[in-house]
Chain A
Amino acid sequence: MQKKDIGLGILIIVVGAIVYMRNPLFLSPINLGNTANLIGLFGLFAIGQGFVIMTGGIDLSVGSVIALLGVLFVDMVGKFGVPWPIAVAITVGLGVLIGLAHGILITRFKLQPFVVTLCGLLIYRGIARGYTAESTAGFPFGSSYPQLEWLTIGRSFGVPHSFLAMLIVAAIMWVVLHHTVFGRHLCAVGKNEEAARFSGINTRFVTITAYVICAVLASIAAIYFAMFTKSVQPSSHGNFYELYAIAAAVLGGCSLRGGEGSVIGIVLGAVLLQELQNLVNLLGIPSSLNFAVMGTVILLGVLADQQFATYRNRKNTERALGLLQKQ
């Protein structure tokens, strides 16, 4: 655990304690279960976003990918009767293709990540709306897919499977980021692409892979969201989700300049965002203020972090000066 992660963990506990004191329902099994489900859903694609941010890029298309792939998944399973494992494979496969497209446009054609994924945001949303002719995609009345439902919206001992899925993904991605060659290369490319290239690292491959990971996790999240909401309204489903993901990653210590971040931090960031959402609901704050609360907390968090960093730097300089005077 990095220092930042511990700070974030403390913040989560403090906020939780305050909410609990004001409204004990916060720790009720129902509320915890529901919140855990949301943390799972949002955490899944926030981790992917974190990987992209660590390369120094950004993926604005996440929400639209969740809408488009959600619509397609629901239609494949509900309308065309595609067996769900095949539908899952196709959905994830589309995620791979979307990620590849982003990565190749950014590395080979040297377009800016912001521009590429902004276009993605518009294109995927547009396709989703055009394909459904603005109508809501849903499963036929009375249909049921017991295994798929168990995997996505089922619970074990009260713990939502979406949350468990997110934990499993987080564990895998934690190993990938912190303990594999690819993970070290990802940080190197994000921090200083030029030096990484001069060390023989295939920087294009690393960057493209990060976008593929992001889109794949978004495609998995798309399936979970579709199963959770049971119907997908193409113009509103997943709106602003990319911003939740970016917020979680930034709260979790990812620098938008690249090269820095931890999986634990991103997960904690996702936890804090849902906790704030929950706070708004439980404390009777008008839900229209939702975004304002979230924005304020993120701003304060980032500001505090910046101040700590400045303080640490000053301490280091003073120590260096002290050493000099002793000489």
Chain B
Amino acid sequence: MSAVHGLDLKLENVTKVYPGVVALNDVSLQIKAGEVVGLLGENGAGKSTLMKILGGLIAPTSGHITLDGQQFDRFDVKESQQAGIAFVHQELNVFDNMDVAANIFLGREKVRGLFRLADHKAMKELAQPLLDRIGARFRPDTPVSTLSLAERQLLEIAKALSMNARLVIMDEPTSSLTLSETNMLLKVIADLKAQGIAVVYISHRLSEVEECADRAVVLRDGVKVGVLERDELTHDAMIHMMIGRDLKALYTPPARPATKPVLAVRNLSIKSKPDRPASFELMGGEILGVAGLIGAGRTALAEAIFGVGEKLDGEILVDGVEVKVNTPADAIAAGLYLVPEDRKRSGLILDFPTLENVTMANLSAFTSRGLVSQKRQIEVAEIQRDALAIKTRDVRRAANEMSGGNQQKVVLAKWLSMDPKVIIFDEPTRGIDVGAKAEIYGLMRSLADHGVGVMMISSDMEEVIGVSDRIFVMKDGAITGELPRLKFSESNVLNLAVGKILEEA
């Protein structure tokens, strides 16, 4: 394509510091026209920060950006757009109250006439060839509310093309896509490459990176740990570089065999999937992994057990005794705790001091004559801080000054200061660096060894396989299969997740 002229983008020694955390440390990166660069790293490795700097959303603390020979200390959003950098975000930025064409030209509407009215006809005509270029089957006047997630992704790509993008950055574009949709997206990426457009492909799905990338840059804890060229791109090499060690070390076997069920769930159905009840048992002393694709109903199941989500029907038994769980308070009283998926939204109150976060769920236990004793709050918070190695000097300091891993430990400290029977972890290590991850896994194992039933929902395949003693897989709200440790494999989990039946080995 002649419209796209050569791109030469360099990031040099870029560092970004947030209060209490170094998100990026001295990272350099070069991207040229027609290249597909895989950007790898675990959650919290600094990928998003790097991309936000390219998008002009945040300024690097130090270092600079060179575009076609011109040097910048920082981009603003406009410069980034003019440079031809476009984003397809993990959380899509489409407006479903408009049609496709209006979304593509949002903020750059074509206008006509004296009163500069929006020219819907011209926009639709301009949108069609863009949609053709990426093989989209929807039309410019299709309402976005009727598009599937994958189609919305294509819409974002069309929008990028409409801005004469020279570099399209895709952040976890396939995390909510089905396999066939994923394949279609990979084909679109190949087309973009053929048209001379560069792509930065951020994904946890290593096989996709293996398939489409010319090379992969690996970040760990904000540091660039290495680059893998096309011929070095293997699954093992990528993992080794990402986590800095071999995966097998993750698993610690339980100290003693699982005992009796601490939690039994019978025919639990939730409002969004009323005809797909789930039943399972969780033993004291085991770590039960819950796998499945996004939207499989894992979080909804956990929230129903914890009393936050609405459940239609079913029984919950703790230690063999049925408990009525209508509110989180009921669940907490029964010793059923949830470490929620969205830590910052549901897990803790970021602006609150650590001690308040730790004691929030049973504050009444810290009162004498109706008044809260801060002294006792501090005592308990400090005991938990030391037990979990939470890195904060002063438990009176706000939780938002900590790294994600330490915040997660604060959420856990809240429950450990009470008397857990069952703890459900929903994506426990999302956005947490590698070191802290290992600590969280260690904590889960030691909880289990103390007889607690640990249930771990995770979309991170390595985590599910590496940490669990047993896995069950969900699809559409129901449990489609169970795997004992001997049968753990990525393909077994994936097959169950998409609803296939495993062949008996």
Contact = CB atoms under 8 A, between A and B. Distances in A.
Interface in A175-226: 175, 179-181, 183-185, 187-188, 191-192, 194-202
Contact of B329 (A180, A191, A200): A200
Residues of A in contact with B, size category: 20 to 34
A200 B331 contact: yes
Contacts of A320: 17-20
A2 interface: no
Contact of B372 (A180, A188, A194): A180
A188 B352 contact: yes
B332 interface: yes
A316 interface: yes
Interface string B340-357: 100001111111100010
Given A181-B372, A194-B346, A199 B414 contact: yes
Interface string B1-43: 0000000000000000111101000000000000000000000
Contacts of A195: 345-349
Interface stretch (B168-176, B360-368, B482-490): B360-368
Give the most central of A184, A191, A199, A202: most B CB within 10 Å.
Answer: A199
B370 interface: yes
B249 interface: no
B328 interface: yes
A133 interface: no
Contact of A185 (B363, B367, B370): B363
Contacts of A1: none
Give the most central of B308, B327, B363: most A CB within 10 Å.
Answer: B363
A198 B347 contact: yes
Contact of A180 (B331, B348, B361, B370): B370
A172 B350 CA distance: 28
B252 to A, nearest CB: 29
Contacts of A321: 17, 61
B433 to A, nearest CB: 16
A296 interface: no
A307 interface: no
A324 interface: yes
Nearest to B361: A199
A57 interface: no
Contacts of B20: 320
B372 A317 contact: no
B114 interface: no
A192 B364 contact: no
B187 to A, nearest CB: 40
Tell me what chain B mostly uses at the interface: helix, strand, loop, or mixed: mixed
Contacts of B479: none
Contacts of B17: 317, 320-321, 324
B328 A198 contact: yes
Interface string A81-119: 000000000000000000000000000000000000000
A259 interface: yes
A313 to B, nearest CB: 8
Contacts of B371: 175, 179-180
A97 to B, nearest CB: 25
Interface in B391-425: 414
Nearest to B363: A181
Contacts of B414: 199
Interface string B311-333: 00000000000000001110110
Give the most central of A202, A313, A320: most B CB within 10 Å.
Answer: A320
Given A184-B363, A184-B372, A259-B351, A202 B345 contact: no
Contacts of A196: 349, 360
A248 B414 CA distance: 35
A316 to B, nearest CB: 5
Give the most central of B61, B328, B348, B361: most A CB within 10 Å.
Answer: B328
Nearest to B61: A321
Interface residues of B, number: 33
Contacts of B360: 184, 188, 196, 199, 201
B270 interface: no
B308 A197 contact: yes
B218 to A, nearest CB: 22
Contacts of A259: 349, 351
A185 B366 CA distance: 13
B351 A200 contact: no
Give the most central of B351, B360, B364, B370: most A CB within 10 Å.
Answer: B360
Contacts of B19: 313, 316-317, 319-320
Interface string A10-34: 0000000000000000000000000
A324 B370 CA distance: 44
Nearest to A190: B349
B338 interface: yes
A197 B22 CA distance: 31
Contacts of A201: 329, 360-361
A198 B363 contact: no
Contacts of A184: 356, 360, 363, 372
A51 to B, nearest CB: 17
Contacts of B348: 192, 195
A179 B372 contact: yes
A202 B18 CA distance: 34
Contacts of B372: 179-181, 183-184
A188 B349 CA distance: 7
B351 A191 contact: yes
Give the most central of B327, B329, B345, B349: most A CB within 10 Å.
Answer: B349
B340 A202 contact: no
A322 to B, nearest CB: 10
Contacts of A198: 306, 308, 328, 338, 340, 346-347
Nearest to B414: A199
Interface string A151-193: 0000000000000000000000001000111011101100110
A212 to B, nearest CB: 18
Nearest to A178: B372
Nearest to B367: A181
Contact of B345 (A179, A187, A194, A317): A194
B349 A192 contact: yes
A195 B332 CA distance: 14
A184 B332 CA distance: 19
Contacts of B364: 181
Nearest to A198: B346
B360 to A, nearest CB: 5
A132 B90 CA distance: 61
A191 B353 CA distance: 12
Interface string B258-286: 00000000000000000000000000000
17 contacts: A179-B371, A179-B372, A180-B367, A180-B370, A180-B371, A181-B372, A188-B360, A192-B345, A196-B349, A198-B328, A198-B346, A198-B347, A199-B414, A200-B327, A200-B328, A317-B17, A320-B17
Given A180-B370, A195-B349, A202-B327, 7 more contacts: A179-B371, A181-B367, A184-B363, A187-B352, A195-B347, A197-B346, A198-B306
